[in-house]
Each structure stands twice: as structure tokens, then as C-alpha cells.
Amino acid sequence: MSTAPALSEGNHSCKCNAGYTNWLYTAIHSCAACAKGKYKAKLGPMGCDDCAAGKYLDSTGNVHSDNCTSCIDNSTSKLGSGSMTACMCNPGYTGDNGGDVCTACESGKYKGTTGSVTCVDCDAGKYLDTQILAHTRKHTHVCVTGLHVFGQSSRYLWM
């Protein structure tokens, strides 16, 4: 889709409408809808802009960044994501990519990567007593003398 001023001569006067681009400046001066994950707000030959990281856009030909949808809490997506399945749970949270919820790892477990990977137990002899830091093994603590972590929990046993 394109627009040209009144009384224009030839297709060199045509400019792509908002939501459409001719970034490659093809010889036939055609315009194509901005792809999923992208939008273009202005009339002209410029390229389409990406939706910000943490958002996605699952339709084409969009004209504004407001059309980009935020991923659910505790998840993110890459710049220019074109579907909800691009939203992945942050480190320290687990759930399906593009799912309805990202759940914090429970105490005694951690997850150090983005995505649908499950939370794993802290290493033997270490514990994690808060869900806030459940995103990395480096935040696990060595048990103090007299304490022992047992099972798959963050409970302690005096020894």
C-alpha cells in the first residue's frame, strides 16, 4: 500500500503508508506489510521498527508500538518477537514458553537460564533460602557447621 501526492508522475513519487515498507527499494517500488514483531508509524520509505524486548506482535502491517503486547510477568522476549511463544520465563522462574504463568522456583531450587527449563535442586551441602535469588547457583550458600540440608527442601537438620 502506498500514497502519492496529487498530480504525481510515475511511481517514483509513491511512498509506503504507515505499517508498510519498501526498505529494499525494489525496482517496482512495491510496498510490503511490516512483518510480525514490527511496526511503522510514518509514511515513507523507511524500514519497520522492532517491538521492544519483553513484548511481541503477532500480526502484520501494524502502525504503532502500542500494538506490541507485553509478555506475562516474570518473562521476556527478544527484540522484534512475532508470537506469544517467544515469551520465555526469566531465570528463577519456570513455566511453558508463551504460557499463562511463570512460577518462582521454590526455596532450595534455582534456574539459571531463560526458557521453559524446570528449577533444579541446589548442590549437596548448599541451600537457597529465598525465591528472589533463585536464578543462579552462585547465590546458594554453604551450610554452616551443625546444619545439614536434607531431601529436596530448604529445611535444615541440626547435627
pLDDT tens digit string along 104-155?
888 778 888 899 989 888 777 666 655 544 454 444 444 444 444 444 444 4
DSSP state string for 30-97: --EEPPTTEE--SSSSPPPEEPPTTEE--SSSB--GGGSEEPPTTEE--TTB-SGGG-EEPTTEE--T
Phi, psi torsion values for 155, nearest 5 degrees: -80, 155
Q: pLDDT tens digit string along 14-72?
A: 788 999 998 655 555 688 999 999 999 999 888 999 999 999 999 999 999 999 999 99
CA torsion, ordered 16, 20, 22, 26, to nearest 10 deg: -90
> Taken in order 109, 115, 118, 124, is the CA torsion positive or negative?
negative
Q: pLDDT tens digit string along 56-110?
A: 999 999 999 999 999 999 999 999 999 999 999 998 899 999 999 999 888 778 8
Taking the model in full, what pTM does it have?
0.71
Residue ranges of domains in the chain = 103-159
